[in-house]
Amino acid sequence: MEDCLFCKIINGDIPSERVYEDEFVYAFKDIDPVAPVHVLIIPKEHIASANDITAENSLVISKVFEAAAIIAKEAGIDANGYRIVNNCGELAGQTVKHLHFHLIGGRDLSWPPG
Ligand code: AMP
Ligand code: ZN
């Protein structure tokens, strides 16, 4: 996708602080962190939102969660706990139309989220 910010980050056209990468996913530090650990995990394939997950492309979702477990361990937040968040659509506050999962941790997280 030519005009997609996160596709440009995957391609290296826009810089990012990479924390993990494999064949399926790319993960990097959020530019505006809301917690001591705030990583975005994205599929390398352009999928616009959770609404666009299908039987054909859903393998990458398991890869996202495999990556999350690795990243959480490396960040040292796996034992205390963390949150994985996906915002889908306008009311949820999705600002980038490339599916992404926020991995947030390193502090107390309130529930329910705002
Ligand atoms: P969302 O509101 O769920 O769509 O989340 C988008 C996230 O992308 C926000 O937390 C932003 O801070 C983050 N973000 C936007 N631009 C960049 C960038 N160039 N590098 C890293 N994170 C970014
Ligand atoms: Zn994209």
- pTM for this one? 0.98
For the question of residue 46 being annotated catalytic, the response is no
CB of 15 sitting under 6 A from ligand 1: no
CB of 32 sitting under 6 A from ligand 1: yes
Give 108 Cα–ligand 2 centroid separation in angstroms. 31
CA dist list (Å): 38 to 19, 31, 32, 57, 84 = 11, 9, 8, 25, 10
Is 112:82 a contact under the CB 8 Å cutoff?
no
Q: Cα 77 vs. chain centroid, distance in angstroms? A: 16
* DSSP-based three-state secondary structure for 3: coil
Q: What is the pLDDT of residue 114?
A: 81
Cα–Cα distance measured from residue 56 to residue 38, given in angstroms and rounded to the nearest whole number: 29
pLDDT band at 2 (very low <50, low <70, confident <90, very high): confident
pLDDT band at 1 (very low <50, low <70, confident <90, very high): confident
Mean pLDDT of 32-56: 98
Q: Which domains does the chain have, with CATH numbers?
A: 5-105 (3.30.428.10)
Q: From the CA of 90, which ligand is nearest?
A: 1
